[in-house]
Amino acid sequence: MPTINLNKWILQDMTGLNEQELVDYLFKLKSEVSPVSQDEYSIEVNADRLDMLSLGGIVRALKGITGKELGEPSYPVKDTDYVLEVEKVASRPYALACVIYNVKLSPDFYLKELIQFQEKLHDTIGRRRKKVAIGIHDLEKVEGKIIRYAPVSLSTTFIPLNQEREMSVRDVLQETPQGKQYGNISVWDSNSPAIMDERGILSVPPVINSDRTKITGNTKSLLIDVTGTNFESVMETMDLLATALAELGGIIGRVKVRGMSVDRSPVLRHTSVPFSLDDVNKRLGIHVSRDEAINLIRMMRMEVETNKDLAVIVPPYRVDIMNYTDVAEDIAMAYGYDRFTLESGRTASRGSLSEKSEIYRKLRTLLVGAGFQEVYTLVLTKSSYQRGEAVNIANPISVEYDSVRNSLLWNSLVFLSNNQHSRFPVRIFEIGDVVNRDDSKDTKYSNSTRLSMAIMDSRVSYEMLQAPLHEVLLNLLGVAPSYRRFESDIFMKGRSAEVVVKGETIGRLGEANPELLRSFGLLYPVLLAELDLDALRRVM
């Protein structure tokens, strides 16, 4: 979840709320507040509420939930002479711009907050600038009224933000940290997208702005450009920025747009989401009246169309409202999750354990009775421990866990290897899932539930394990298993067998091959058994 830092005193001053009230109300708005310093809060915001990644958005939401201001605020909007001309930019086709007058970027906190909002939008809706990128400029430093979005050749030069000298776009991409991080997103055919005024480059999306139009504490008005690969997301980002700044006193200046599907920007889009009060009440399990519902929606800073059927007029900053279920959630939040009265035991249905769990429980009781300690190990293991085909992880984070176990035997051996200095004998069992190839499944793999048993002692003999295994199976199935000689490199020659029940092989047991013991660093003899519980279930 994204986290933003905001100045304590400004937030308290703008909302008229003390610290405890801020904590409580923001909790109701899906957010968590923790003080990070004397002057700062860190606020965790949920990923759907992009509007709340800004000071303006948080203040707007808080004023609503506390009932201080209701409905959608009316922000001043005026048309400007600025024109955005969008040319064909194959790698990043969409661009919008807007102007904001009367911004306040001083004291320093405001400037930092704006840049933070920009970065959070980059990371969320912008998908780390791949989908959307934002450039913010000091309008007074922009020359001319025509802003162009067009491809430029990589040899075009400009002074990038916070650099001293003129650099080519190519050098910026190769040498600056931003260039290295984002440079490869939009470059194609030796071209890069650029936002330009009459004098030259203002920004190279999604990489960096020019130094020439850098914003400072003295900046009074802004030119904002938003570019991206998805028009809806570009439009929403523009609306989020404009409305957040307007909440703090900015005046939105509309820019004429050429070459896009809209001719004005910001679009400040409103959508209508119809809903029936009955549906909402039924979904929530509460009974709010029509007037109450309208009031609750207005507390969430949205308006309701009441002429005919009810519909929420979704303001430009609420990009998360899709259909009536989202309306229901907003009503529930304004109503207060803590106000829901809870009931107990409304179900009359009968629960049951899975067959797997039933067998697991019976087996473990018998195995404990046989004196075996249950162990529980991880599913992920080191591929070099395993024999036979196993699922390997393409992007492991450690060689210790780069594959999924295909048998429990390796886990038992690792366990024993870790306990060579413990009190003997060590008698263990584990019941758990392993993964094997299974072409009948849509994933080509399936889980298989296994039982492993192992004994380590200073001296072992086949019967020490065969006898308890035999009794456990006899007690579980009511049928005595039989044993068929079976050789494998896991076991010592002549000392292993398959376990057979009703003609079906359900597992194997024997004395571990010293070669195998050596590969697990084991210096004591070991008996091993593994049963396939799915096969066991088939013979039950």
Partner 1 sequence: MLSENEIKILDFLKRRKESTSQEIAEGTGLPLSSVFSIIATLESKGIVKVISEETRKVVRLTDEGKLRTEQGLPEDRLVTLLNGRPLKIQELRNALGKDFEIGFGWARRKGLITLENDTVIPKVSQYVSPEYTALKDLQAGKEPTGEVLEILLRRKLVEVKEEKMLRVQLLREVETRPAELYVTHEMLTTGSWREYEFKPYNVEANPPFFPIGKTHYFRDFIEKVKDLMVGLGFVEVSGDFVETEFFNFDMLFQPQDHPAREIHDSFVIEGKGNLPGSDLVRKVKEVHEKWWRYSWSEDNARRLVLRSQTTAVTARVLSGAPKRIRAFTIGKVFRPDSIDATHLIEFHQMDGLVIEEDFTFRDLLSTLRDIFQGLGVKQVKFKPGYFPFTEPSVEVYGFIEGLGWVEMAGAGLLRKEVTEPAGVFSPAGAWGIGIDRLAMLFLGVKDIRDLYSLDIEYLRSRRVI
Interface with partner 1 in residues 368-397 (CB under 8 A):
368-380, 391-397
CB of 378 to partner 1, least distance (A): 5
* Contact yes or no for 307/313 (Cβ under 8 A): no
CB of 359 to partner 1, least distance (A): 12
CB-wise, 279 or 487, nearer to partner 1?
279
Q: What is the DSSP letter of 457?
A: -
Any idea how long the chain is? 540
* Contact yes or no for 101/253 (Cβ under 8 A): yes
Q: Which of residues 87-106 bind partner 1 (CB under 8 A)?
A: none
Q: Which of residues 15-74 bind partner 1 (CB under 8 A)?
A: 27-30, 46-49
CB-wise, 142 or 288, nearer to partner 1?
288
* Contact yes or no for 453/429 (Cβ under 8 A): yes
CB of 101 to partner 1, least distance (A): 31
CA atoms within 13 A on the CB side of 88: 1
CB of 498 to partner 1, least distance (A): 25
CB of 55 to partner 1, least distance (A): 21
Token pair for 4: 């933003």
CB-wise, 169 or 293, nearer to partner 1?
293
CB-wise, 291 or 343, nearer to partner 1?
343
d(CA 153, CA 449): 61
Q: Which residue of 282, 362, 493, 502 would you call a contact of partner 1, by CB under 8 A? A: 282
CB of 423 to partner 1, least distance (A): 5
Cβ count near 15 (within 10 Å)? 20
* Contact yes or no for 29/333 (Cβ under 8 A): yes
Does 291 sit near partner 1 (CB under 8 A)? no
Does 399 sit near partner 1 (CB under 8 A)? no
Give 477-535 as a 3 state SS string: HCCCCEEEECCCCCEEEEEEEEEEECCEEEEEEEEECHHHHHHCCCCCCEEEEEEEHHH
d(CA 133, CA 538): 58
CB of 76 to partner 1, least distance (A): 30
CB-wise, 44 or 85, nearer to partner 1?
44
CB of 354 to partner 1, least distance (A): 4
Q: Which of residues 486-525 bind partner 1 (CB under 8 A)?
A: none
Q: Which residue of 41, 149, 275, 415 would you call a contact of partner 1, by CB under 8 A? A: 415
Q: Which residue has the tokens 């900046």?
A: 219
Task: Write the interaction track for partner 1 spanning residues 117-146; mark x where CB under 8 A is met and - where it is not.
Answer: ------xx--x--xx---------------
CB of 261 to partner 1, least distance (A): 13
Q: Which of residues 324-353 bind partner 1 (CB under 8 A)?
A: 325-326, 328-329, 332-333, 337-338, 340-353
Give the ranges where 204-343 is alpha helix by DSSP (H): 231-247, 277-284, 290-299, 324-335
Outline where DSSP puts E strands in 38-123.
40-44, 77-86, 94-101
Report the relative pairing of strands 373-374 and 380-381 from DSSP bridges: unpaired
Q: Which of residues 220-249 bind partner 1 (CB under 8 A)?
A: 230, 232-233
Task: Write the interaction track for partner 1 spanning residues 183-222; mark x where CB under 8 A is met and - where it is not.
Answer: ----------------------------------------
Number of amino acids touching partner 1 (CB under 8 A): 93
Q: Which of residues 154-173 bind partner 1 (CB under 8 A)?
A: none
Task: Write the interaction track for partner 1 spanning residues 421-460; mark x where CB under 8 A is met and - where it is not.
Answer: -xx-xxxx----x-x-----xxxxxxx-------------
Residue 320, annotated as binding a ligand: yes
Give the DSSP per-residue string, 36-54.
-SSSEEEEE--TT-GGGGS
CB-wise, 83 or 370, nearer to partner 1?
370
CB-wise, 435 or 535, nearer to partner 1?
435
d(CA 447, CA 436): 6
Q: Which residue of 80, 168, 295, 419 would you call a contact of partner 1, by CB under 8 A? A: 419
Distances (CA, A) of 380 to 360, 377, 459: 21, 9, 31
CB-wise, 220 or 382, nearer to partner 1?
382
Does 269 sit near partner 1 (CB under 8 A)? no
Does 485 sit near partner 1 (CB under 8 A)? no
Residue 329, annotated as binding a ligand: yes
CB-wise, 85 or 534, nearer to partner 1?
534
CB of 155 to partner 1, least distance (A): 32
CB of 323 to partner 1, least distance (A): 7
**Phi/psi of residue 216, each to 5°?**
-135, 180
CB-wise, 249 or 525, nearer to partner 1?
525
For the chain, what is the radius of gyration of the CA atoms?
A: 33
* Contact yes or no for 276/318 (Cβ under 8 A): no
CB of 230 to partner 1, least distance (A): 6
Q: Which residue of 38, 261, 398, 458 would you call a contact of partner 1, by CB under 8 A? A: 398
* Contact yes or no for 186/91 (Cβ under 8 A): yes
Token pair for 25: 């109300």
Give the DSSP per-residue string, 130-165.
TSEEEEEEEGGG--SSEEEEEEEETT-EE-BTT-SS
* Contact yes or no for 58/233 (Cβ under 8 A): no
CB-wise, 253 or 468, nearer to partner 1?
468
Sign of CA dihedral 509, 510, 514, 517: positive
**DSSP-derived 3-state class of residue 108:** helix
Binding residues for Mg(2+): 320, 326, 329-330
Binding residues: 320, 326, 329-330
